A and B are shown apart, each in its own frame.
Chain A
Amino acid sequence: DGGITQSPKYLFRKEGQNVTLSCEQNLNHDAMYWYRQDPGQGLRLIYYSQIVNDFQKGDIAEGYSVSREKKESFPLTVTSAQKNPTAFYLCASKSAQLNTEAFFGQGTRLTVV
């Protein structure tokens, strides 16, 4: 089945450690996105990539880094510079076709203790 997969579902890390969240899609989508969701808030864009080896900062990129070495994969690293990393992280991908919308993964809940 085609889809977008985030792993792991739950992640626990100690403060000060970097952690990488995985996002893989087999939908042949060119664009991929990372969003952060906090309780009672909508989704906020962290980074996005429209093509392999290229990515742009979203609204809240500070303390995060990404790479896009393969079309299928868009991993997000939450660095120790992110002041409040505990959140629900959502990855999405989208076709280049006009008037098509993004598919979301099931999310990774990161808890930093």
Chain B
Amino acid sequence: GQQLNQSPQSMFIQEGEDVSMNCTSSSIFNTWLWYKQDPGEGPVLLIALYKAGELTSNGRLTAQFGITRKDSFLNISASIPSDVGIYFCAGRRVSNFGNEKLTFGTGTRLTIIP
């Protein structure tokens, strides 16, 4: 199965820095999702995007649905220690119940250097 191209694979930043990561695909999606996963836990949804061009914020997190519908980015401002984890993007082609199949990115591992 296809996986989305997510970059960077890993990031090492200092507390307080801003973070930016993105996902690209050769296919069009009509929904983009961003999840965060802590070690040994299941992913938790951060932001959902349903319209091309949509820009959505959730606290210090901001995500955008690319206008071409083939990409999305996630920004985290003023990082704090609890931001550490793996961030995954996911795309979905059809939003109606009955055709729910998500394609996941390979993840961006965020580490905060003391």
Interface residues of A (CB under 8 A from B): 6, 30-31, 33, 40-45, 48, 50, 58-60, 88, 90, 92, 94, 96-99, 101-107, 109
Give the residue name and chain of the B residue nearest to A31 (CB).
B100
What A residues does B66 contact at CB under 8 A? none
What A residues does B42 contact at CB under 8 A? 6, 90, 92, 104-107
B40 touches A107 (CB 8 A): yes
Give the residue name and chain of the A residue nearest to B45 (CB).
A101
Point out which of A50, A60, A109 has the most chain B C-beta atoms below 10 A from its C-beta.
Answer: A50
B106 touches A42 (CB 8 A): yes
Given contact pairs A40-B107, A44-B1, A104-B43, A96 touches B88 in the complex (Cβ within 8 A):
no
Known: A41-B107, A102-B100. 14 other contacts (CB 8 A): A6-B42, A30-B97, A31-B100, A42-B3, A42-B105, A48-B101, A92-B42, A94-B97, A94-B100, A98-B96, A99-B95, A102-B45, A105-B42, A107-B40
For the complex, give the distance between the alpha carbons of A88 and B42 in Å: 10
Interface size range on B against A: 20 to 34
What B residues does A59 contact at CB under 8 A? 1
For the complex, give the distance between the alpha carbons of A43 and B1 in Å: 10
For the complex, give the distance between the alpha carbons of A104 and B38 in Å: 12
B107 touches A42 (CB 8 A): yes
Contact of B48 among A88, A94, A99, A103 (CB under 8 A): A99
Binary flags per residue of B81-103, CB closer than 8 Å to A gives 1, else 0:
00000001010000111101110
